[in-house]
Structure 1
Amino acid sequence: MLRIRGTIGDLPVDLTLELDDGDWARLGSQLQPAPMADAPAAAVAPVKQRDDLWQSAQDLLRNAGQLSGLELLDQLEGLAGDASAAKRLLVRLRHSPKVNVASGGDTPLYSWISD
């Protein structure tokens, strides 16, 4: 038995559903997450795009050698297309073992550590 209580607008709702074992099994099967093999290619694309963006961010700093935090954030924003994605990349770079972050006055200096 499943009881649903609440309101719809100003109307009170008190609904009781009686389900047998077969009903519960069908309901449960509908609630199972789809296996990844059945996931559409569009669901995988954002992950690939994030990986490509992360690689591009690393390449940007590697090629520059060293950038101030403000310069790096500005270039990452151009790369990522928006400020929030650029900030996420900057934080990820800050915590990367391939990047050294040093105090540089008003803004930190990000340096690529040679491979």
Structure 2
Amino acid sequence: MLRIRGTVGEWPVDLSIEMDEGDWAQLGAQLQAVKPEGAPVAAAKPVNPDDTQWQIARELLRKAGQLSGPDLLEQLEGLTGSASSGKRLLVRLRHSAEVKVLSGGDTPLYSWVG
């Protein structure tokens, strides 16, 4: 037996489904047909705006190859719409293994090393 409890909107749900061995085998066969062999099953999760911005920030620096700190910060602020969010992404890039920061001259240089 499979029991599902939760809510749909504000309505409580308590659903019990009885399945025999044939039902379980059929369900398993359908899941194998959907999932390629050896591929992990990933749970669906909502898209986090911070993750999206992080991916865009990484791609921005990767495409540029190298940017000065002020130029990169300006672009990140434009991406996020806020100075504090842009600075957070800049710090995250600074500590990323995919980015090399050279502290030469007046401003740091951020380089993509991927």
Q: Is the counterpart of residue 84 in structure 1 residue 77 in structure 2?
A: no
| Residues matched between the structures, number | 73
Q: TM-score, normalised by structure 2?
A: 0.59
- Report 1:53-64 matches (<5 A): 53-64=53-64
Q: Is the 8 A contact 1:66 1:111 kept in 2?
A: yes
Which residue does the alignment assign to 1:28? none
Which residue does the alignment assign to 2:109? 109
**Identical amino acids, percent of aligned pairs:** 63
- Report 1:36-51 matches (<5 A): 48-51=48-51
Higher helix share: 1
**CA distance in 2 between partners of 1:80 and 1:50 (Å):** 9
Which residue does the alignment assign to 1:69? 69
Unpaired segments of 5 or more residues in structure 2? 1-5, 10-44
**CA distance in 1 between partners of 2:73 and 2:104 (Å):** 15
Q: Indicate the SS of the match to 1:109.
A: strand
Which residue does the alignment assign to 1:27? none
Q: Indicate the SS of the match to 1:96.
A: coil
Unpaired segments of 5 or more residues in structure 1? 1-36
**CA distance in 2 between partners of 1:79 and 1:48 (Å):** 15
Q: TM-score, normalised by structure 1?
A: 0.58
Q: Indicate the SS of the match to 2:96.
A: coil
